[in-house]
């Protein structure tokens, strides 16, 4: 992942989030057709209240997009696409993706009708 220019920038980012009271980053995503993107990124405190990310919003967005595109093995942006939420816990550097993928499948049925069964 190339989100940060150096270790100093990375340390400042996570330190700044902690100063805001952020313990978790949250990103909503959706996609279909052949494209997808994050619909919103925000922070949450220890009681799951939302926190605006201010100056950290762009880097947080980049980080969350990288987590989704590099670590989530489901095709959430092609064809019928999908949607969901990415959670990143900054206290233990763990992520969780709760996603839904829309899958299209062929369905066929054929047979004969007895004309006498039709009223």
Provide the whole-model pTM.
0.79
With respect to residue 31, please indicate whether it lies within any of the assigned structural domains: yes
With respect to residue 11, please indicate whether it lies within any of the assigned structural domains: yes
Q: Which is more confident, 71 or 6?
A: 6
Chain segment 7-58, per-residue pLDDT in tens: 999 999 999 999 999 999 999 988 766 667 788 999 999 999 999 999 999 9
With respect to residue 70, please indicate whether it lies within any of the assigned structural domains: yes
Q: How many domains does the chain have?
A: 1
With respect to residue 61, please indicate whether it lies within any of the assigned structural domains: yes
With respect to residue 111, please indicate whether it lies within any of the assigned structural domains: no
With respect to residue 56, please indicate whether it lies within any of the assigned structural domains: yes
Q: Is the pLDDT of residue 108 over 60?
A: yes
DSSP string, 57-119: HHHHHHHHHHHHHHH--S--SEEEEEEEEEEEETTTTEEEEEEEE-------------GGG--
Q: What is the CATH number of the domain that holds 82?
A: 3.30.500
pLDDT of amino acid 26:
97
With respect to residue 1, please indicate whether it lies within any of the assigned structural domains: no
Q: What would you report as the CA-atom Rg of the chain, rounded to the nearest whole angstrom?
A: 21
Q: Print the domain residue range for 43.
A: 7-101
């Amino acid at each position: 992942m190339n989100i940060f220019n150096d270790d100093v920038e990375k340390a400042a980012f996570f330190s700044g989030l902690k100063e805001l009271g952020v313990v978790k980053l949250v990103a909503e995503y959706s996609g279909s057709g052949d494209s997808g993107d994050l619909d919103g990124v925000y922070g949450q405190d220890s009681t799951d209240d939302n926190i605006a990310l201010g100056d950290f919003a762009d880097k947080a967005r980049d980080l969350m997009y990288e987590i989704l595109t590099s670590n989530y093995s489901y095709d959430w942006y092609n064809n019928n696409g999908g949607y969901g939420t990415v959670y990143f816990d900054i206290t233990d550097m763990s992520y969780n993706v709760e996603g839904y993928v829309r899958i299209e499948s062929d369905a066929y049925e054929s047979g004969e009708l007895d004309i006498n069964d039709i009223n």
